[in-house]
Amino acid sequence: MIKGIKHLARRVGGIKNLILILLATLLGLTLLLDIFVVERIFDPLGYLYLTLGIVFLLYVAWPLYHSRRLVQYYWQRVKRNRLAVLGLAFILFLILLAIFGPLFTTDPTAANFEQKNLPPVGFTTSESIYNPQTGQFITKVISGTWEHPLGTDNKGRDLLAMIISGARVSLQVGLLATGIAVALGTLIGVISAYLGGKMDNILMRFTDIMMTFPFFLLLVFIVFIFGPSLAFIVLVIGLTGWTGVARLIRSEALSLRTREFVLAAKALGASDGRIILAHLVPNVISLIIVIATLSIPGVIMAEAALSFIGLGDPAVTSWGMVLRAGQQSLDTAWWVAVAPGVMLFFTVLAFNFVGDGLRDAFDPRSSV
């Protein structure tokens, strides 16, 4: 039995590939069941998660575990960059917020008109109320309560809950869409670089065409036909954002291809496949990690922008949506716009710091 498995593994190029094929088939079957037979087992976003999760575990986490010493070496270098460490701390905080936050807060979509426009804790606003009996305006002071620590919007929805939900959305979209874009871009970039010649040309022209593709228009189109959904947003961003990655990876792989250790591997008799998987890919992984980290803020902003103009998924509260709500009541309830704005600002900053820190750590020439 073991022998049979080993043999099969060798045929498909490694045990990892075998596991990938198995799990992919399983997922595919589940998907089919989902569409045709049973009620929703997973929602579309869930499928994306699972796929990406599997690919990540097999092709990123597992190899990293194998080269623990190397990972430790780079981690030491990253640690020395204060800003990167701060950024990492913030991201960690965000992740914890996204995962555990909902346990402690109410439903972000619960409108409660009685409590609309409450300011955050420690702030007070005043409201003029016309008393029809006395014919005068009375100034009523409203102060924030701990029940709604960040206040409420003009529909009485708890801002803190909305922010937490937004964190969740941003992280999901950020990770998933970037994951898709990077995976696709890397595949195309590495293959294009290694095969060279005509294939390289074809793939790159294809990339050029995709690059000019108006992703925004595509999104509007999809929303128009299928209705807005987070899964679609993620897919569209991912499927149109891989082009930049492909170019960068390709140029790095091109320069690697002529490096002596690739020649040495050829001299040892390594096949093309082995050279790509065992030599080229591990050497571009550091670049991939940096590109991915620096792409996430762009993706998050893209999603925020889409939600802001109303193309987002209405079932999900994202920061862009909160911004949209806050835009209208800037004079009466400024906190509604400020909260998501501040969160977006720091999130983008955090990922940029971490990305820069990683890039410096991986660069052998920088004296970290």
Residues at the contact surface with another protein, assessed by CB under 8 A: 67, 69-70, 73, 80, 259-261, 263-271, 274, 278-279, 282-283, 285, 364, 367
Q: Which amino acid is at 207?
A: T
φ and ψ of 31, to 5 deg: -60, -45
CA neighbours closer than 13 Å in the CB half-sphere of residue 263: 4
In angstroms, the CA 63 to CA 363 distance is 20
Q: Which two tokens stand for residue 258?
A: 């002529």
Concatenating the DSSP letter of every residue in 331-346 gives TT-THHHHHHHHHHHH
Q: Which is nearer to another protein, 42 or 362 (CB)?
A: 362
Q: Which two tokens stand for residue 14?
A: 């490694």
Q: How far is the CB of 235 from another protein (least distance, A)?
A: 32
Q: 10 Å Cβ neighbour count for 260?
A: 8
Task: Give CA separation, 322 vs 14, 112, 220, 345, in Å.
Answer: 47, 16, 20, 14
Q: Which is nearer to another protein, 122 or 269 (CB)?
A: 269
Q: How far is the CB of 190 from another protein (least distance, A)?
A: 14
Q: How far is the CB of 79 from another protein (least distance, A)?
A: 11
Q: Which two tokens stand for residue 346?
A: 């720091």
Q: By 3-state DSSP, what share of the chain in percent is helix, strand and coil, each rounded to 5?
A: 75, 5, 20
Q: How far is the CB of 70 from another protein (least distance, A)?
A: 6
Q: Which is nearer to another protein, 80 or 205 (CB)?
A: 80
φ and ψ of 125, to 5 deg: -125, 165
Q: Which is nearer to another protein, 182 or 275 (CB)?
A: 275
Q: Which amino acid is at 141?
A: V
Q: How far is the CB of 325 from another protein (least distance, A)?
A: 48
Q: How far is the CB of 66 from another protein (least distance, A)?
A: 10
Q: Which is nearer to another protein, 279 or 324 (CB)?
A: 279
Q: Which is nearer to another protein, 139 or 258 (CB)?
A: 258
**Residue 115 DSSP one-character state:** G
In angstroms, the CA 54 to CA 360 distance is 29
Q: Are 295 and 178 in contact (CB under 8 A)?
A: yes
Q: How far is the CB of 61 from another protein (least distance, A)?
A: 16
Of all helices (H) and strands (E), which one includes residue 142?
Answer: strand 136-143
Q: Which is nearer to another protein, 204 or 235 (CB)?
A: 204
Q: How far is the CB of 261 from another protein (least distance, A)?
A: 4
Q: Which is nearer to another protein, 7 or 40 (CB)?
A: 7
